């Protein structure tokens, strides 16, 4: 709980400093977290106290260059995290930052799960329909689950729209049994 509280303070400060470029910084943060998460050696440098600040800063500078053009605000923020030994909190900060930026923009995120990969047009249409229903901009992440027989299941926040074949068959079974 303490880490979430600290992450929230850092995320709020970054969001205020980001201004109009909040969405871009959120995407850059997510890319950086993915890059660190996919490389155990880099993740070790971020959390292991055996490495000096200078070593961490050097690795961070390399990661920033690897990401391509990044916001100067983000670069300064990441350097601050290294200086304060808070780089380990980056995944939590990123998650909280994205939630705050979405709330500020009136946007909600969700996932759509299907048996096969959905084309971008279908996902966009689903986003449009859910946006009208929920009266907020909906951004969906598409996932494939081969255990789904057919149809799609969408979760936006705590609301689940389940249109999978399994659910329809279970509903039919209950109707027939009663």
CATH number at residue 40: 1.10.520.20
Last residue of a domain, one of 103, 130, 164: 103
Q: Which range marks the domain in which residue 128 is found?
A: 107-177
Least confident of 78-82, 121-125, 161-165: 161-165
Confidence label for 9 from pLDDT (cuts 50, 70 and 90): very high
In order of 67, 107, 127, 150, the CA distances from 138 in angstroms are: 27, 6, 5, 23
63 touches 42 (CB < 8 A)? yes
State residue 62's pLDDT score.
Answer: 86
Last residue of a domain, one of 57, 87, 103: 103
State residue 47's pLDDT score.
Answer: 77
Confidence label for 1 from pLDDT (cuts 50, 70 and 90): low
7 touches 89 (CB < 8 A)? yes
89 touches 33 (CB < 8 A)? no
Asked whether residue 169 carries a pLDDT value surpassing 70, the answer given is yes
State residue 36's pLDDT score.
Answer: 87
State residue 2's pLDDT score.
Answer: 61
* Number of domains into which the chain is organized: 2
30 sits in the region (left: phi over 0; alpha: psi -120 to 50; else beta) called alpha
Kindly report, residue by residue over 128-137, the tens digit of the pLDDT: 998 888 888 8
């Amino acid at each position: 709980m303490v880490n979430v509280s600290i992450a929230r303070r850092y995320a709020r400060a970054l969001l205020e400093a980001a201004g109009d470029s909040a969405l871009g910084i959120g995407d850059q943060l997510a890319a950086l977290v993915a890059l660190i998460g996919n490389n155990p050696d880099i993740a070790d440098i971020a959390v292991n106290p055996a490495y000096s600040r200078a070593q961490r800063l050097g690795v961070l500078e390399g990661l920033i260059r690897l990401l391509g053009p990044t916001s100067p605000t983000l670069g300064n923020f990441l350097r601050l995290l290294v200086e304060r030994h808070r780089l380990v909190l980056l995944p939590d900060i990123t998650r909280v930052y994205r939630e705050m930026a979405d709330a500020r923009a009136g946007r909600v995120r969700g996932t759509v799960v299907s048996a096969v990969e959905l084309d971008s047009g279908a996902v966009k249409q689903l986003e449009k329909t859910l946006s009208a229903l929920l009266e907020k901009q909906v951004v969906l992440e598409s996932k494939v689950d081969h255990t789904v027989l057919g149809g799609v299941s969408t979760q936006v926040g705590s609301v689940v729209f389940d249109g999978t074949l399994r659910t329809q068959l279970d509903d039919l079974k209950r109707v027939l049994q009663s």
